[in-house]
Structure 1
């Protein structure tokens, strides 16, 4: 699946970068928190999966606030009013007359101002990890002091370029080296050190307690109980200021919504906005399984040596994660020198396999791949069942650089433009029946 095109909305003399994902029955604008980058965000499998999960039930509109990401950087000191104007400009450019809003962290403040100012354009509001005020006050004991702000800002400037404060933003994944690398780059792409510090100081001045009672749209406030960036008490206090607010606690400690149990979070949003949620991903389901294996891995290891071989595998693993996320799939697990990957349909699986073969060749590797569509048993994050075994056997029959698939895959891909050539019939030990296999042509 191709990534969405980045477009621009004009707000005064400022250009705001935005994307539209999906074509669901309701418009949902996602107002991001502190920093964002609409294109580099897709490099994270978790982030990409979260956005595509929201797009399953909506026409999702995402954007970078002025001063961040791909939007104009030289934007001065934007007020909440100007940020709300950015939302209006993006909705106008995307052709949205009325939209639900999802505001995450500080993005919830700008979404709240927009909802109160233009009520006719907001069907519903969802606030996640949001606060009513940032600074400490006698009547707001959860806020940070000016001294604490300056201390954290000094640390930001000193450590920019690294995964700043990931241990508090997403404790459940803070030890993952690949996520550290992505998060550090995400922040760098989103803003310069001084711009990030400026936005941090601007956010310190936020106080929307006078705005919240004016919001007319039904509003859902979601908060993970262990969130370290926004405290549970802050979210509960915010919800109490709303005229039509519903407050819901969620388990977990990650502030960043795409980490932790994102399916539960997205499910709560979907149910609030549509009245129902997609079936939970448990039990048995029809899936397309893609198995890959590196051809001649032992000889390659011997020729390259341990260090170079490890570097090549790590680099290819990063490429696999990005490709699978781009094609709306899931990397289930490593299988020796290969992968077990899962997709919702055969066309996405085949297109991903084509991309992976190209990626492997640029690294001096050859892949053999096998694809089958069938019923799988979900066991936590793993998959099992006949479909997995059959995809593995089909892969073993594939020549280097080829994509071999079952008849089921070929039949379900009719109309996709993919062409297959019959590659013979096989019997597989322990698997009943004789199976027609097809090689992707062209």
Structure 2
């Protein structure tokens, strides 16, 4: 009997999810580019594989927003909102922590979640996944072929041999895959989703993942090049890479599917010390009032203090609204952290607007990277980079690093390329962009 489909609330979006299994550990399964969780159970091999998974774990499945049974027709989300969807499902399922398993394109999202939400992750499992989109579609021409398929043949299942060249010529299997396509996304939704996916490049944040990680990939995977898995394993500290035989991309097929289950079982149920999270990935926001010293000298201490108090209240109001963490004030600015770069930029925009109404010009730098957390401070190169980027700006500027720009693909945010800059105290040049 398939599990009951329920809905979790992620902001104003409803996320369809199911919970099944009776194992002692929690596991969240992050799907590939499209999914439909009720259709999973109509394919016998998929259903058996999931039943086996539930023998050693309590499993949560979900459809990402815009796909399957989750709310459709919503704006194509950025990584921040996708991370929120995982968190919403975990909360609804009563999972304070869980192993997070990302399959195919879901591996990129699972990796970002593990980097930013490490305290909620017991471990990270990646299968057939990648760090950058080129491992899936190496050329624009290849992606255009998918778009052509979406326009002319989506819902027929005719693309199944591209995913599973050894098993994809069975008519019943293709019929099921055709239904999976139709119920997973409309042709137009698919195209919009894949345009956003084409910007995926998470290589810069992988070294910040500090939880146990298992990477599995078929050496001859027909869909995702093996270098996708090898890159993940190389860049995630301490990750274990297991290369499997076979060409079929699907996780549940053949003896490889059994081997994957065995490896997941050993990884999830094995005894490991809990990680210590004194270093985490964060989006760092550094705000600075332009020419504050000159303004203070011109206005005098009393008037300047009143302006600073109004500035501080306005900044704190926006940090609270966007769930930012105030680390400290810096006299004429703030240092704050966020659990996602998109939220950091939106908050920066709101701060600039709020203090601008007070006649206070600020410049803001945003960077995402690993920081060292103490009781009342954060330290690390990421903080220095955010501060140095802010110093490049003028009043009203919100400047971001390339890492931030890449991670907010699909958010609707626009940027102006300001070129490469050598930041004071840092040896490498950094690409800097102005948020518009």
Which category of TM-score, normalised to the shorter sequence, fits these structures?
A: 0.5 to 0.7
Over residues 117-151 of structure 1, what are the superposed CA-to-partner deviations in whole Å (9 max), with x where a residue is unaligned? Answer: 11100000000000100048xxxxx8522233223
Of 134, 153, 159, 1:159 maps to 153
- Structure 2 residues without counterparts, runs of 5 or longer: 272-436
Note if 1:181 corresponds to 2:170. Answer: no
Structure 1 CA distance, aligned partners of 2:138 and 2:159? 16
Residues 196-235 of structure 1 mapped to structure 2, 5 A cutoff: 196-235=190-229
Structure 2 CA distance, aligned partners of 1:64 and 1:4? 14
Instruction: Determine if contact 1:156/1:164 at 8 Å carries over to the other structure.
Output: no
Instruction: Determine if contact 1:254/1:260 at 8 Å carries over to the other structure.
Output: no
Note if 1:117 corresponds to 2:96. Answer: no
Structure 1 CA distance, aligned partners of 2:43 and 2:124? 26
Distance 1:70 1:270, change over 3 A: same
Note if 1:148 corresponds to 2:147. Answer: no
Deviating runs (4+, > 2 A) in structure 1?
A: 145-148
Residues 314-333 of structure 1 mapped to structure 2, 5 A cutoff: none
Structure 2 CA distance, aligned partners of 1:40 and 1:143? 26
* Alignment correspondent of 1:24: 23
* Alignment correspondent of 1:330: none
* Alignment correspondent of 2:166: 172
Residues 224-263 of structure 1 mapped to structure 2, 5 A cutoff: 224-261=218-255, 262-263=257-258
Distance 1:207 1:164, change over 3 A: farther
217-226 or 149-158: which moved more? 149-158
Instruction: Determine if contact 2:137/2:143 at 8 Å carries over to the other structure.
Output: no
Residues 367-386 of structure 1 mapped to structure 2, 5 A cutoff: none
Residues 292-371 of structure 1 mapped to structure 2, 5 A cutoff: none
Q: What is the TM-score of this pair, normalised by structure 1?
A: 0.59
SS of structure 2 residue aligned to 1:228? coil
* Alignment correspondent of 2:264: 269
Structure 2 CA distance, aligned partners of 1:157 and 1:198? 12
Residues 95-110 of structure 1 mapped to structure 2, 5 A cutoff: 95-110=94-109
* Alignment correspondent of 1:195: 189
SS of structure 2 residue aligned to 1:272? helix
Instruction: Determine if contact 1:135/1:205 at 8 Å carries over to the other structure.
Output: no
Distance 1:68 1:143, change over 3 A: closer
* Alignment correspondent of 1:40: 39
SS of structure 2 residue aligned to 1:40? helix
Instruction: Determine if contact 2:158/2:174 at 8 Å carries over to the other structure.
Output: no
- Structure 1 residues without counterparts, runs of 5 or longer: 137-141, 277-442
Shift, 1:112, TM fit: 0.8
Over residues 3-33 of structure 1, what are the superposed CA-to-partner deviations in whole Å (9 max), with x where a residue is unaligned? Answer: 2111111001100000001121000000010
Structure 1 CA distance, aligned partners of 2:166 and 2:253? 8
SS of structure 1 residue aligned to 2:254? coil
SS of structure 2 residue aligned to 1:50? helix
* Alignment correspondent of 2:289: none
Structure 1 CA distance, aligned partners of 2:3 and 2:56? 17
Over residues 148-171 of structure 1, what are the superposed CA-to-partner deviations in whole Å (9 max), with x where a residue is unaligned? Answer: 322321122211121142112112
* Alignment correspondent of 1:70: 69
Structure 2 CA distance, aligned partners of 1:18 and 1:10? 11
Structure 2 CA distance, aligned partners of 1:91 and 1:57? 18
Question: How large is the Cα RMSD of the aligned pairs?
Answer: 1.4
Residues 396-411 of structure 1 mapped to structure 2, 5 A cutoff: none
Structure 1 CA distance, aligned partners of 2:30 and 2:206? 17
Structure 1 CA distance, aligned partners of 2:185 and 2:82? 16
Instruction: Determine if contact 1:170/1:259 at 8 Å carries over to the other structure.
Output: no
Over residues 309-364 of structure 1, what are the superposed CA-to-partner deviations in whole Å (9 max), with x where a residue is unaligned? Answer: xxxxxxxxxxxxxxxxxxxxxxxxxxxxxxxxxxxxxxxxxxxxxxxxxxxxxxxx
* Alignment correspondent of 1:329: none
